[in-house]
Structure 1
Amino acid sequence: MGKNWILLIIPIYAKASNKYLSAIRLRILELSQLQSAPLVGQIEVDESYFGARRVRGKRGCGALGKTIVFGLLKRGDKVYTEIVSDCSAATLQSIIKGKASIDTQIQK
């Protein structure tokens, strides 16, 4: 839902629409953080690389220049994703410790 779409429906000024949309986005962020209870039970974890299929002229690592997204999934329930800078064990373990309870069984 962009600013232009809202301006077509509701006759308000552009500055006012920016203010209202920012407030709505902040409230959505607050509510999503409140509802982020730890995942319990069996969860699956995986990382994915998003970006161009390949970069011409570059050899070797196919992940160069791609965005790395790490996700935790409780089947039929909740999903948590986060953009990470690297896929090192320390980075991924810290995310898992923050989002999964102690009783959780992790599947790869």
Structure 2
Amino acid sequence: MKNKYLKGAHLSERKFKEILKLFSEDLTATQIANISGVSRVTVNSYLKKIRMQIVKYCESVMPEPTGYPKIQHRNGHDTAVAVKSEVDRIVKPVIFGIYKADDKVFTEILPDVSRSMIQAIARGRSVLETVVTADRIRRFHGVVDLGQYRLYNLNGSSHTEHGKQLDDVDGFWGLTKHRLAKFKGLNRNTAYLHLKECEFRYNYRNEELYQVLLNLLKTHPLNLS
């Protein structure tokens, strides 16, 4: 069946666009399945692939951090949060940094940062003896502890820019907190997918998201094989 947005699809282009439209309106998989008449299993499969394509796009436009390597994530696998080579395990809970660049908000999961490290830095204490230095964490304008649903604003920018950046950090976190609350507990394996989806939605909040997604998937169609 020909579908320029979904290679190898057994679903018509019209039906897929209906699912994409409902996704852009931020409906749940259950709601989309009920409205579209497509099974929830199939809808979940498509939504995961859409989110993975969003992740790839967000990573492709993310600025390279100055002086620090970008943490690599295995977005093609179920375990969405990967650890750096020098980290023996993923530190719980999920912690991510937020920063603004080029009028967009970007996020990065920090698998080697602990809750105690964030709290120490937020109080102005040094954590230079840890794997991640205070300077590295402070390059973010905010850090979120998803275990406590708490945002820590960090003074990582100049005084003249700081207010506007914090407004965007707070705005992004408000959107993200509201969206993630719908899931009533976020699975660690899909945390990265949902985080990047929130980033994408926030950065294109003033545009028609459905059209943005159509353009993205027309250029980079999904592949079911």
TM-score (norm. length: structure 1)? 0.48
**Relative contact order (C-alpha < 8 Å, sep 6+): which is higher?**
1
Q: Which has the higher strand share?
A: 1
Q: Which has the higher helix share?
A: 2
TM-score (norm. length: structure 2)? 0.26
